[in-house]
Amino acid sequence: MLKLRDVSKKFNSLMVLKKINLDIRTGETIGIYGPNGSGKSTLLKILSGFTKPSCGKVFINDRDITEMPAEKRAELGIAYAFQIPRPFERLTVFENIYTTSLLRSDPEEAAIKTEELLYQFELSDVSDSIAANLSQGEMKLLEICRSVATQPDFLLLDEPFAALDKENARVIRRKIRMLRSMDMGIVITAHRSRILEGLVDRIMKIEYGILNRE
Ligand SMILES: Nc1ncnc2c1ncn2[C@@H]1O[C@H](COP(=O)(O)OP(=O)(O)OP(=O)(O)O)[C@@H](O)[C@H]1O
Ligand SMILES: [Mg+2]
């Protein structure tokens, strides 16, 4: 279980998150929606270790990881897919996934895993393309694929549908359905609840720094 306990976050005088409590179990998918600037990315970054809370604690399986950096948390099975994809731009699609797979697999295993993931994410055709040259839809797929390549127990997808046209959004939706069958705990953020309907086990709303059940 991945947990937040009384987590608050302040940027200068701006209180972005106020005493947030959240439990994420493996096998469950949670959708969190809220308007621009409501703290969705901040919340996921606190779970993944890219941001530290101002107060409160983060736990994985009752182990306190509040002070643990993101790379270490990745090794423990927490993966974060950035809202704005951050691939290794000068590497190929294959190299992006392979390099990430090495975090938790030996080289031979990682190569097999990479081929498998590229196939699953419909990226095999662009396997040798330089990441910087991908389309927006492919870039989003690569970002999610890269996060999955660490074989996480907890997968945090920050606005996987943002800035995508209908067709690309449909592809991402299909991929999330596939990921749901893999027994991870998944958190998905979005601007509106509608896109999360039928895709997640429960929907929560974040507004004015407070996280509420729908
Ligand atoms: N590093 C930072 N320094 C200062 N303020 C920040 C920082 N990161 C986020 N903020 C502020 O915190 C608030 C929440 O930002 P956050 O990115 O978490 O919102 P969001 O819900 O993800 O928004 P969006 O829907 O636009 O992605 C915003 O007002 C933002 O300007
Ligand atoms: Mg955001």
**What SS3 class is residue 2?**
strand
41 alpha carbon – ligand 1 mean position (Å): 7
110 alpha carbon – ligand 2 mean position (Å): 31
What residues does ligand 1 touch, defined as CB less than 6 Å away? Answer: 11, 14, 16, 34, 36-42, 83
CATH number of 2-213: 3.40.50.300
Instruction: Tell me which residue has its CA closest to atom 7 in ligand 1.
Output: 11
| Residues whose CB is less than 8 angstroms from the CB of residue 27 and which lie 6 or more positions away in sequence, other chains included | 183, 184, 185
Instruction: Tell me which residue has its CA closest to atom 1 in ligand 1.
Output: 11
Could you tell me the residue ranges of all domains in the chain?
Answer: 2-213
- Kindly report, residue by residue over 31-82, the tens digit of the pLDDT: 999 999 999 999 999 999 999 999 999 999 999 999 999 999 999 999 999 9
Instruction: Tell me which residue has its CA closest to atom 17 in ligand 1.
Output: 41
Question: Of the bound ligands, which one is closest to the alpha carbon of residue 35?
Answer: 1
CA neighbor of 96 nearest in space, from 104, 105, 108, 88: 88
17 alpha carbon – ligand 1 mean position (Å): 10
Question: Of the bound ligands, which one is closest to the alpha carbon of residue 16?
Answer: 1
DSSP of 142-191: HHHHHHHTT--SEEEES-TTTT--HHHHHHHHHHHHHHHTTT-EEEEEES
Instruction: Tell me which residue has its CA closest to atom 18 in ligand 1.
Output: 39
115 alpha carbon – ligand 2 mean position (Å): 30
Question: Of the bound ligands, which one is closest to the alpha carbon of residue 39?
Answer: 1
- Kindly report, residue by residue over 169-192, the tens digit of the pLDDT: 999 999 999 999 999 999 999 999
CA distances from 36 to 106, 141, 186, 189 (A): 41, 23, 21, 11
Phi, psi values for residue 125, rounded to 5°: -65, -25
205 alpha carbon – ligand 2 mean position (Å): 14
214 pLDDT higher than 80: no
- Kindly report, residue by residue over 94-151, the tens digit of the pLDDT: 999 999 999 999 999 999 999 999 999 999 999 999 999 999 999 999 999 999 999 9
